[in-house]
Structure 1
């Protein structure tokens, strides 16, 4: 028995099945850049970036040094009572990066989940209204508030209701909802009509505090909302005194080839949530918003003992340094174009590759049944498992979407090797050489 199997067997009796979406039976020991190594010494090119939480890669020397130096000075003092040095420097630096005009402020958290909880809190406090609108396919987190906002898996509501009151979900304009022959404008009009239906039937706009959207859904399949749809809901929000809030946890910090995914639309949010790669995967999040909104609550309305921790804020300062100094936003845009060309070339050869969505180094690739055009979950699982066998880590979303989110520091050589691995997996599937792994039934969302 290898160390992977031994450690997993040792963990199993003590670990809840609710706490991990299963994919491969490995235990990760270390990582460097875009490569992770398991406890048996196997190296894998990471095409997941730890769920887009390590955009700067694993163990970046500048981030590591910031963490080590800070740990030797002060590991923890709560920002709930006193400012600490890095936190006091980071707050104005991060706020300045937010695509919001005028004065703005932030509050710290420990995860993207509580940052989305904060959007509920601050929007209700500022507007004096109770209701929040979110979208199907969304993943906003796993606290009760953020989980109520989410709609990507039944296991996020099954057996744990009642969920937070006052949350209404409307359909996200997912390309799978497009009708055959439907034009872009007709699709947007139909989806906007579905968006407005609650407001016309049971949800008073004047009692709605905020609309929260992932401009590009992450776990919903890496799906970008149409520009015209975003403009319509943005105008609707502002016409009705509703705050427009965006979740940048998955798609922020350079992932889309811009600092924030909302910048792909030219729209300014009133509130935004940030997490994951903010501190290169260390537990730090923030809600950022217009200052008058962020001043609508008093302490301790949104604070946590360890939020804005000295080490996590040191990591975040270093993370921003790396993104700026190594031009990772520009690199994301450049490598994303290369990745899009690769997948489009592969689609010419393999009819089971369907829609390709690439926004920076950040893509969702649909695997379909060539005969019906419908999602093919089995083929997707065969592909991702074969990729794993060949030395790379990629996972699936929505049963049939390949999630392609390498660290933005991936080298050209590593990216080309990843393309070769993917091509081999596609070739093997086309040749009928692949079978489902033994644990296929429990793999994925």
Structure 2
């Protein structure tokens, strides 16, 4: 492949765009996308296994999305919802209340990114409970605004040099069965990983001072970790017993990604609040908080609003996104194709010691690369080289955590496209094992 125009754009980018706002993997400059494929500025074609960080569940430029946006453009783009009303805002709110779990009256508030939604959620839980403490998880990533960053615990570079973050936010270990801190197997597990939290509640963290526990039901950027169902149920039980709100953070995993509308549904739990963003408007900036009505009523106006939040353009795109997911049965497709992809990677795991674990729900799958299967130490170098070689061969995939391949293609991807992408990923794994990928690519493929 030739990348002359892409390299030129990367060079121009370096002169105007701040380094701290990007995580580099390869010099990909996108010209256009359709469905599950991308074309770069040099005309090279790629199968997209990333979905723009899981924000394009309906794929690139779905014709119904572009038509919905165009139709709304011809009427009006936005008039601030802070002072006026619009039909798209209301219609989307009605749909969100209908697809989110929970047989109770709900209310919606909009934003522009998952980050600002998490900030709004923090305000909401503190106002409603009258408590200040919030619990999140080690390895979580909730966004880059100050509140969302305070919830996050994934990168020192995100926290360095910016002064104090929000107070009264603590982090507990996320249950990671593959790397169990207690060296338990599923058949011998007695939720030892819950003991640290229970001990903290009994010794130094008064439960009556905790407003909420914020959990990604599948820990995305920590490495696409799926917790045991009994852990999530026990955590929810403790919350209910102590008047602590349970918040399901669905920014990455929502809107059909995991084979359910929202990933918390895999655990048969009704959260008090759901935080969402990314794929909800198929690439148009939009976020939302859906919460029990009484929780939202704890705040008075204008506690959480933005000039462009709930704008008609974003809402029109989101309404169409929901209808596409329903009409094209993308939730069931995500479930079926996800099982197929996990099966294929499990077959590779039997052939290559490099793969330590394959996990996930629907089309949200982590392939954990390790230095050896005994220590389970992540192999970040292998992941970086494999992702770079995949890009060279026409597949877009990145890695997370200490070396987990992030497999999150658009839900509209075809079986043929998946097969071709999986073939290239396996070829790249073999080339890494054979030492055919030079160390020089590590100067470019940095990752998290």
TM-score, length of structure 2 as denominator length = 0.96
**Are 2:18 and 1:16 aligned?**
yes
Structure 1 residue aligned with 2:378: 375
The SS at the match of 1:246 is: strand
Q: Is the 8 A contact 1:105 1:290 kept in 2?
A: yes
Write the distance in 2 (CA, Å) between the matches of 1:226 and 1:148: 26
Q: Is the 8 A contact 1:135 1:170 kept in 2?
A: yes
Q: Is the 8 A contact 1:75 1:311 kept in 2?
A: yes
Which among 341, 349, 357 is matched to residue 343 of structure 2?
341
Q: Residues 21-420 of structure 1 correspond to what in structure 2 (within 5 A)? A: 21-179=23-181, 181-184=183-186, 187=189, 189-370=191-372, 372-420=375-423
Q: Shift in Å at residue 441 of structure 1? A: 6.7
Write the distance in 1 (CA, Å) between the matches of 2:161 and 2:298: 34
* CA deviations over 1:154-206 (Å, ceiling 9, x no partner): 11211113011111111111235415751337655221011223322322111
The SS at the match of 2:53 is: helix
Write the distance in 2 (CA, Å) between the matches of 1:441 and 1:74: 42
The SS at the match of 1:403 is: strand
Q: Is the 8 A contact 1:257 1:359 kept in 2?
A: yes
Q: Is the 8 A contact 1:108 1:307 kept in 2?
A: yes
Q: Shift in Å at residue 58 of structure 1? A: 0.4
* CA deviations over 1:3-38 (Å, ceiling 9, x no partner): 111112112121111101111112111110001111
Q: Shift in Å at residue 432 of structure 1? A: 2.3
* CA deviations over 1:196-236 (Å, ceiling 9, x no partner): 23322322111110000001011111111111111111111
Q: Is the 8 A contact 1:221 1:364 kept in 2?
A: yes
The SS at the match of 2:15 is: helix
* CA deviations over 1:297-343 (Å, ceiling 9, x no partner): 11111111101011000000110111000000000000001101100
Alignment root-mean-square deviation, CA: 1.5
Q: Is the alpha carbon distance of 1:336 and 1:17 closer, same or farther for their aligned partners in structure 2, counting shifts above 3 Å? A: same
Q: Is the alpha carbon distance of 1:181 and 1:19 closer, same or farther for their aligned partners in structure 2, counting shifts above 3 Å? A: closer
Q: Is the alpha carbon distance of 1:442 and 1:389 closer, same or farther for their aligned partners in structure 2, counting shifts above 3 Å? A: closer
Q: Shift in Å at residue 54 of structure 1? A: 0.1
Q: Is the 8 A contact 2:356 2:368 kept in 1?
A: yes
TM-score, length of structure 1 as denominator length = 0.97
Q: Shift in Å at residue 439 of structure 1? A: 4.2
Consecutive unaligned residues in structure 2, runs of 5 or more: none
The SS at the match of 2:439 is: coil
Write the distance in 1 (CA, Å) between the matches of 2:124 and 2:64: 34
Write the distance in 2 (CA, Å) between the matches of 1:105 and 1:350: 49
Q: Shift in Å at residue 118 of structure 1? A: 1.5
Write the distance in 1 (CA, Å) between the matches of 2:443 and 2:48: 21
The SS at the match of 1:108 is: strand
Write the distance in 1 (CA, Å) between the matches of 2:416 and 2:384: 26
